[in-house]
Structure 1
Amino acid sequence: MNVDARNLKDHYSVAVIGGGQAGLSMSYHLTSKEIDHVVLERNQIGHSWRQQRWDTFCLVTPNWQCKLPGFPYAGPEPHGFMKKDDIVAYLEAFAASFNPPVFEGVAVKQLRKLSDGLFEIQCTKGTFTVNQVVVAVGGYHKPRIPRIAEKVPSHIQQIHSSEYRNPSQLPQGNILVIGSGQSGCQIAEDLHLAGRGVHLAVGSAPRVARRYRGRDVVDWLADMGHYDMPVELHPQKEAVRGKANHYVTGRDGGRDIDLRIRAKEGMQLHGRVADCVDGVMHFADDLVKNLDNADQSSENIKNMIDGFIAEKGISAPQEARYVPVWQPKGGESLIDLVAENVTGIVWSVGFESSFDWIDLPIFNGKGYPNHYRGVSREPGVYFLGLPWLHTWGSGRFSGVARDSAFLLEKIEQQLCASLEVTS
């Protein structure tokens, strides 16, 4: 699978930067068309799944949504949820099925355009040129940790969610998890289920029920065409790209994450982090609102499903609606980190994108690529695997096959145009 990096050529028709599911999917299509190309991977195939997920991590979407091109999930549990090692094995098996020209351990240092119209790639194994480039490095590059972390007492261990592996990694004592997106809620649960004392700072992330009226909610939404909706037709338009995902889990065969239940069991819930002063962490007075909004988001999805069932005349069991089992008192809250024996903090507040190695005028004011379905403003430069590149599934296993097939068409058109010019 891994090509000897000493064999890098001076020129390729296409370079794919990134060897995750997006880059491999692009390589699959290029290989099928016998288009000369190379895939450069900074680390190892499946690196983020191997090295940036905790031990009990599993997918939150059913296995049947794993639809890499020519390699859909074919295991015994289509409605199960692959664990971390299974995800890595799936990616490795996909790559082995067509033997992509991957160079692992090769980092790209610069991408720029030359005066002759070719693109030059400088990497840790040398410099070469290409006609076209697919940037498939995703959108999560630099772990985000707010400056407020500098105010935390130095004896408290602080890590980003991408560094968390298991409860034993953190010192004995209570743990504060900051952020209630998918990672934050699942890590807080992982610590809680291991018997650790947990404080969770709850933000505005929405939640969703795992199952409703006899089926996984993902199954209903798929039938409703939710995952085929392009970003331009989404009610939030491009703003949806920056929104947190609904929290739910595939753990224990798949179930809800209900923070109110965890609070009844002893998990301490707070609002957003506001400040840290002299070892005291202050939280905003928004816990009630954040929990209510998360619940309402789940109920809104159920309303959509009810309407779909009624419209299509589907026979489905009735189900009682959600009733909150715990209510916070409201008001601002605070934790004296020392007095509460908080020995560790897990920051789960996302990542920042970084494309500073691309020396091309193709970014907006926030440094994010300007593109339509991955086609940038620079002919011959494409992006793949970004969240909501085209649909909800673009950054996941479910939609990357369609996105990469679309880019293949654009790449072929560009190659044909180049041949016409030189002939």
Structure 2
Amino acid sequence: MQDFPVETVEVLVVGGGQAGIAMSEHLGRNGVSHLVLERHRIAERWRSERWDSLVANGPAWHDRFPGLEFAATDPDAFPGKEAVADYFVSYAEKIGAPIRCGVEVTELRRISDRTGFRAETSAGAIEATFVVAATGPFQRPVVPPIIPAKEGLTQIHSNAYRNPGTLPEGAVLVVGAGSSGAQIAEELLAAGRQVYLSVGPHDRPPRSYRGRDFVWWLGVLGKWDAPAPAPGTEHVTIAVSGANGGHTMDFRRLAARGMVLLGRTESYAGGRLTLAPDLADNLQRGDANYLSVLDEADVYIDRNDLDLPEEPEARIIGPDPDCVTTPICDLDLAAAGITTVIWATGYAPDYNWLQVDVFDERGRPKHQRGVSAEPGLCFLGSPWQSRRGSSFIWGVWHDAKHLADHICTQRKYLAYAPSVPDQCPAVPLRKRG
């Protein structure tokens, strides 16, 4: 059997999305030889794993890298998903990122007898001194095993939803009221569908307040730099939307337009869905989060003597609809006319290709600001990697800079050699006695 030469590179970056491109920029700035592998196209998930009308949840002036603005986009507008993907393609071209598309890493292991790692890919083996896993947080869609497939319903994850016209006729149940679930449910309602939305615990920040977008408020209030989530809030979703120019997500208003709100989805049997009686509590929790941002914003304005218009109407919380005061805890799906269930239930990490012992019992990488316990291996793009903003476009750029600095420091240590060989024999230290 013929042995093919193994390609070598100093740093191998796995993933050509926002994390991989940010990593490439900082490595390139430091003159570090590297290669970025992307199994599909650059920023592929933005193009083929999101619904047609998706826009960024932050305005163009904020959700970008420092070195390039969005082309032909108002700074206060919310770019569509294709524009976001095109932005990353343009950025990669701008920095001359060495990205190789259409190459999948199937396995990566540490080299046993020397420094570095060996990656098996769809295009051959590659060895690298350092590896950055930049595949991001949206790897494996999570669909809870609640409704059996044999029930005959159309069941899809939110990553497979495209638009209302692609779904069968009938009512739609959306499970999960974070940004994805809330926006999809609202789009289906606007298309004339009967929509049921299962709402769990969530944060519900204002889209804007007193003339400033909520991303601005999170910035000046120091919330983007929060180093870790508050206890019990690690997996709380955020209901916010940039759709149709951006607006605050208000579930009560959606109910007033005909959407049926439900509590958390718990179980299913005999064609009936059991729902937790927690809808009112979940809405109140979202209200508390919403009002807390307004309170902190008002204090900041007074303390800094800012001339921003008052907005008393922002504090008006509408009345609870019937589906909140008399919650539905048992739902016959057939009687409700539900033919489709969309699971907007998030993602789980998938590092099956990484055969290195750096994961906890839940499959999450163990790391300190992206630097793993395995020398030479780093992670980039994970939620809360260093701060609240880590998994956002601008946040991952700053995390990439930290990892590039770490790699450059490690390169210096590995390159070190004593200027004069040590000729003295080793003498064991004597214990004090």
> TM-score normalized by structure 1?
0.93
Amino acid at match of 2:412: C
Whether contact under 8 Å (1:261, 1:325) holds in the other structure is no
Closer, same or farther: CA 269–422 of 1 in aligned 2, 3 Å: farther
Whether contact under 8 Å (2:26, 2:400) holds in the other structure is yes
Whether contact under 8 Å (1:49, 1:87) holds in the other structure is yes
Partner of 2:222: 225
Partner of 2:354: 358
Matched, 1:303 2:295: yes
Distance 2:406 2:5 in 1: 25
Partner of 1:143: 141
Distance 2:174 2:230 in 1: 31
Aligned pairs for 1:7-406 within 5 A: 10-73=7-70, 75-114=72-111, 115-150=113-148, 154-231=151-228, 235-236=230-231, 242-320=234-312, 321-327=315-321, 328-406=324-402
Partner of 2:428: none
Name the Cα RMSD after superposition. Answer: 1.9
Whether contact under 8 Å (2:262, 2:327) holds in the other structure is no
Distance 1:78 1:117 in 2: 46
Distance 2:212 2:30 in 1: 39
Closer, same or farther: CA 10–76 of 1 in aligned 2, 3 Å: closer
Distance 1:167 1:310 in 2: 45
Deviations along 1:220-279, whole A, 9 cap, x unmatched?
221222223333xx544xx65x32332111111111111111111111111111221111
Deviations along 1:316-368, whole A, 9 cap, x unmatched?
22222122233322344222111221111101111111212212221222221
Distance 1:364 1:203 in 2: 26
Structure 1 unaligned blocks of 5 or more: 1-6
Whether contact under 8 Å (1:66, 1:73) holds in the other structure is no
Q: Helix, strand or coil: the match of 1:23? A: helix
Whether contact under 8 Å (2:170, 2:194) holds in the other structure is yes
Deviations along 1:176-223, whole A, 9 cap, x unmatched?
101111111011011011111101111112211111122212212212
Closer, same or farther: CA 18–217 of 1 in aligned 2, 3 Å: same
Residue 76 of structure 1 deviates from its aligned partner by 4.4
Distance 1:218 1:25 in 2: 21
Residue 389 of structure 1 deviates from its aligned partner by 0.9
Structure 2 unaligned blocks of 5 or more: 420-433
Whether contact under 8 Å (1:178, 1:348) holds in the other structure is yes
Distance 1:312 1:262 in 2: 36
Tell which deviates more after alignment, 220-229 or 373-382: 220-229
Identical counterparts, % of pairs:
36
Distance 1:422 1:44 in 2: 45
Distance 2:418 2:78 in 1: 50
Q: Helix, strand or coil: the match of 2:267? A: strand
